[in-house]
Amino acid sequence: MEKRREVQSSVKDERLVEMRRDQMIKGAVALFKQKGFHRTTTREIARESGFSIGTLYEYIRAKEDVLYLVCDRIYDEVRAQLHGMDLNAGTISNLTLGIAHYFKVVDEMQDEVLVMYQEAKSLSKDALPYVLKKELEMVKMFETLIQKCVEQGELEMEEKQVHLLAQNIFVQGQMWGFRRWALHHAYTIDEYIQRQTELLLSGITGYKAGAEKGE
């Protein structure tokens, strides 16, 4: 995995840095969603976060750093959820669990997801490739889950189909964040997960509806 892009801080207490940056992320996301990245000032981010502009600059060096931290946090959370699973199990139930974990992360962080995709273009040339690479790493995790199912005979798929299904899973999770304003009238997050999982897997040779539930 590519080395994490360092966001410089003059504060050495890592726990305090993490806490302050959490506050910044929450404050910045609310402002970026409302006003956009370019129209939001660092002074507004500091005020929304609950501290002074001077304090803010102890933990970041530029406004872009906050946007970068927002992007970073989303993928760290998805990675943490998937790494908590057995990626080598090779079962349909494990794959559907991975899908559910990912979709629920998007549900919990929908504002961050929206801001990231709306404003990622504002990242610098050295930061944007890193963020995009992490997205590909998330897709790769789903490729691993799917490929293990193929190896165990749970699914019958070619390599390109495995890659495309992983991409579809990733995009359908994001759709809950982008289109929740329309979808939540018809589905709860659990219903959305169930329906999308059925749609994603029902056309695959070797998959039978209800298999992930042991039916």
pTM tops 0.85, yes or no: no
Task: Name the packing angle between helices 42-49 and 14-35 (round to 10°).
Answer: 120
Q: Residue 205 has what pLDDT?
A: 59
Q: 132-177: per-residue pLDDT in tens?
A: 888 888 899 899 999 999 999 999 999 999 999 999 999 999 999 8
Distance between CA atoms of residues 44 and 32, nearest Å: 10
Query: Is pLDDT above 80 for 2?
Result: no
Distance between CA atoms of residues 128 and 121, nearest Å: 8
Query: Is pLDDT above 70 for 7?
Result: yes
Query: Is pLDDT above 80 for 41?
Result: yes
Do 92 and 149 contact (CB within 8 A), yes or no? yes
Q: Residue 215 has what pLDDT?
A: 47
Q: Residue 210 has what pLDDT?
A: 52
Query: Is pLDDT above 70 for 48?
Result: yes
Share of residues in the chain with pLDDT > 70 (%): 92
The stretch 115-136 carries a mean pLDDT of 82
Residue 141 Cα distances to 11, 27, 50, 66, 136, angstroms: 34, 30, 37, 26, 9
Q: How many CA atoms lie within 13 A of 213 on its CB side?
A: 6
Give the closest residue to 168 by CA, choosing from 142, 203, 207.
Answer: 142
Query: Is pLDDT above 70 for 66?
Result: yes
Q: Which helix (H) or strand (E) holds 37?
A: none
Q: Which residues contact 151 (CB under 8 A, 6 or more apart)?
A: 90
Q: Residue 83 has what pLDDT?
A: 78
Query: Is pLDDT above 60 for 212?
Result: no
Q: Which domains does the chain have, with CATH numbers?
A: 7-61 (1.10.10.60), 63-204 (1.10.357.10)
Q: Residue 4 has what pLDDT?
A: 53
